[in-house]
Chain A
Amino acid sequence: MDVYEVFRQERKGQAFQHAGSFRAPDQRFAEMYAREFYGRRGESVALWIVPRDAIQPIEEFVDELNRNYHRVDGYSLKEKLREARARVSS
């Protein structure tokens, strides 16, 4: 059996979020089970059903030279905010 990942949309216009996964013999069973597990209680307005094999994972992020300015923790935002506030109020 194949594993399927399901994404659900709670209200129209909202982003889809990962809901969970299950096994199913084929795509039609997957649709049946997705409706059952993630749609029956009116908790979703739309579902995406994706075979896990169709997902390309990326799990390694190389940063050999420690270029921390690429990262959110590379800056001390607190300090910059304090300076900006001081400029505005002066």
Chain B
Amino acid sequence: MSRADLLLPLADDELLLGWRNSEWTGIAPFLEEDVAFSSIAQNEIGHARALYQLVADELGGTADELAFDRSPGEYRCAPLVQLRLPDWADTIARHYLYEVADTIRIESLKGSADAAIAGLAAKIDREEAYHRMHAEMWLERLLATEDSRARLRAALATIWPSALGLLDGELRDRFRERTRDLELDAGTVAVERGEQTGELEELWEEMTMVRRSAPAGAAW
């Protein structure tokens, strides 16, 4: 499998999720969490950058071109990361399920025969350890009271089909295995990559606006 086929879906997931999470900057439940969650969003975009760079090394061009110069239809991100989720319970449900799926994906990339990919996966994994801890803490916190538990449960059930679409084949089986404690519906059909949510287009407009409006050859 080419680097582009292997890494672009992952890089696009990280970029888009970073963007979606950054929408909480300034309006998170409290100030301390605002800073922490914004930082996680930044890290995800940082991971996307490093992954785009590996792909660019193979294809030619730059990480920026891959991140911003494709049309919305060319992005390979899963529907899960495209969703605009202005509710904190939905956001935590996505954050948690994404981190579990991402852990499985990164574990598999660490065993890649391409040393550059295995090396980057190991680096990302070390940073993701804090994201996982953060996601687990919030999950436990929201499961702790009756009202927040009901909201989180509803959110997990809503998010679950698109979360499944993050991984396929054997990795998806592992994902189901590792989320068994949450008692999510085992028969759920995944919303697969390539099935657009309609929310990507709007995000793409915003995400690429500055770059598209800059005169050709502008240097930053």
Query: Interface of A with B (CB < 8 Å)?
Result: 1, 22-25, 28-29, 32-33, 35-37, 40
A-chain residues with CB within 8 Å of residue B130 when the two chains form the complex = 32, 35
Cross-chain contact of B35 among A1, A25, A29, A36 (Cβ < 8 A)? A36
B-chain residues with CB within 8 Å of residue A35 when the two chains form the complex = 130
Decide: B30 and A32 in contact? CB cutoff 8 A.
no
Decide: B134 and A1 in contact? CB cutoff 8 A.
no
Chain B interface, >50% SS class: helix
Cross-chain pairs A/B with CB under 8 angstroms, 27 sampled: A1-B30, A22-B31, A22-B32, A23-B30, A23-B31, A23-B32, A24-B32, A25-B141, A28-B133, A28-B137, A29-B32, A29-B137, A32-B36, A32-B130, A32-B133, A32-B134, A32-B137, A33-B32, A33-B35, A33-B36, A35-B130, A36-B35, A36-B36, A36-B39, A37-B32, A37-B35, A40-B39
CB distance from B57 to the nearest CB of A (A): 28
- The count of residues in chain B whose C-beta lies closer than 8 Å to any C-beta of chain A is 11
Query: Interface of B with A (CB < 8 Å)?
Result: 30-32, 35-36, 39, 130, 133-134, 137, 141
A29 to B137, CA, bound (A): 7
A-chain residues with CB within 8 Å of residue B32 when the two chains form the complex = 22-24, 29, 33, 37
A33 to B141, CA, bound (A): 15
A-chain residues with CB within 8 Å of residue B134 when the two chains form the complex = 32
CB distance from B146 to the nearest CB of A (A): 17
CB distance from A8 to the nearest CB of B (A): 16
Known contacts A32-B36, A32-B130, then 9 further A-B pairs from the complex at CB < 8 Å, ordered by chain A residue: A23-B30, A23-B31, A25-B141, A29-B32, A32-B137, A33-B32, A33-B36, A36-B36, A37-B32
Smallest Cβ-Cβ distance to A29: which chain B residue: B137
A-chain residues with CB within 8 Å of residue B39 when the two chains form the complex = 36, 40
